Amino acid sequence: MTELKNDRLLKALARESVDVTPVWMMRQAGRYLPEYRATREKAGSFLDLCKNPELATEVTMQPLDRFDLDAAILFSDILTIPDAMDLGLYFAEGEGPCFERPLRTAAAIEQLPVPDVADSLGYVMDAVSSIRRELDGRVPLIGFSGSPWTLATYMVEGGTTKEFARVKGLLYENPRAMHQLLEKLAVTVIDYLNAQIAAGAQAVMIFDTWGGVLTTRDYSEFSLDYMRRIIAGLTREHEGRKVPVTIFSKGGCQWLEDQADIGADALGLDWTIDIGLARQRVGERVALQGNMDPCVLYASPERIQTEVATILESYGAGAGHIFNLGHGIHQHVDPDHAKAFIDAVHELSVPYHRT
């Protein structure tokens, strides 16, 4: 096992002392980097890039070569699981992900296959292993999956949506069918994340992108409970270290207390809540990740520093904060502004970790 040279992230997730607040960015390997765009063009398409372990390794490493980040995150997509379920995933220019065969009936859900992760998603585990070799202990590697509810949203809608009419219609009209779909997805997510951990992921994250569109009752039943089941089924120790789990329900800060009780080590926060208030609400139960508005990165480096300072001050002294954006970095952000953000976190957080 290669010794980890920078373990700030894992320490912060365990609420242990660190020298500075660790920082990484959701979508840190992505379209805002010119080198990423060049690699994607070489791959031919986004899906081809995801399915090529060598190129996935290359783009995972690109932000680490530019910035002083405290973690790498696997380059992949949350829709690899629906793709493995033979729904005909493709990415339309200007439209995002689409499915040729969306799930529109209970019969389609009944017939939906549960994939053999090792067989149909082996390319992801090959990428995880390749990235770990390339990292050589530089920083920890984060693996991830979409939550069952979020995956189901895309699979039923057939792509992106603003209304969630089809998936919510199914939830209300035929909750049994919705639960059947979520059960299949939960089993697959457990297998998928455990395979990533076996291949070398040192922390994992569950992206519940659309949890926040649900009512309180439905969030608990159709989203949170399935993430609880997933966490209970995960490998929690590997290579002699605990494997921490973070959940992120975008738009779900009203449910932080409930989220803190499902066994996760950390909660991701979007930018709609003050992180100090969130810390008061969850106490010592979990670490917190977040939560700068990604649009701040369109501002000057000086304004970015001010916002970083405000969030650090709000969280306050002590362990358990992983600095991140409140959602993924936007494609038109200047990479120099991303660097200013990351450097500001390290520079300005020093006083908060003095013992």
Task: Examine the residue annotation and report whether 229 is marked as an active-site residue of this protein.
Answer: no
Q: Where are the domains of the chain?
A: 28-272
In the annotation, is 40 catalytic?
A: yes
pLDDT given at position 189? 98
32, 36, 154, 315: the catalytic one is 154
Alpha carbons 9 and 187: distance in angstroms, whole number: 28
337 is in an annotated binding site: no
Is residue 280 marked as binding?
no
Looking at residue 196, its pLDDT comes to 98
DSSP string, 141-190: EEEEEE-HHHHHHHHHHSB--SS-HHHHHHHHH-HHHHHHHHHHHHHHHH
Tell whether 327 is in a known binding site.
yes
Active-site residue, 31 included: yes
Query: Of these residues, 27, 104, 166, 285, which one is catalytic?
Result: 27
CATH fold for domain 28-272: TIM Barrel (3.20.20)
Block residue for tokens 């500075």: 20
- What is the pLDDT at residue 93? 74
Sheet containing 266-268: order of strands: 72-73, 141-146, 203-208, 245-249, 266-268, 287-289, 321-322
Dihedral angle over CA of 224, 221, 110, 194, nearest 10: 20
pLDDT per position in the chain (355 positions), as tens? 678 999 999 999 999 999 999 999 999 999 999 999 999 999 999 999 999 999 999 999 999 999 999 999 999 999 999 999 999 999 877 778 999 999 999 999 999 999 999 999 999 999 999 999 999 999 999 999 999 999 999 999 999 999 999 999 999 999 999 999 999 999 999 999 999 999 999 999 999 999 999 999 999 999 999 999 999 999 999 999 999 999 999 999 999 999 999 999 999 999 999 999 999 999 999 999 999 999 999 999 999 999 999 999 999 999 999 999 999 999 999 999 999 999 999 999 999 998 6
pLDDT at 7: 97
Q: Which listed residue (31, 241, 285, 303) is catalytic?
A: 31
Residue 108 assigned as binding residue: no
Contact criterion met (CB below 8 Å) for 251 and 207: no
Q: Residue 1 has what pLDDT?
A: 60
Say whether 31 counts as a known binding-site residue.
Answer: yes
Active site residue 303: no
Confidence at residue 92, expressed as pLDDT on a 0 to 100 scale: 77
Query: Other C-beta atoms within 10 Å of 2: how many?
Result: 12
Catalytic residue among 37, 40, 241, 303: 40
Asked if residue 192 belongs to a known ligand binding site, the reply is no
The tokens for 58 are 């290359």
Q: Are strands 245-249 and 203-208 parallel, antiparallel or unpaired?
A: parallel
pLDDT reported for residue 355: 67
77 is in an annotated binding site: yes
Active-site residue flag, 77: yes
Q: Active-site residue among 77, 83, 208, 218? A: 77
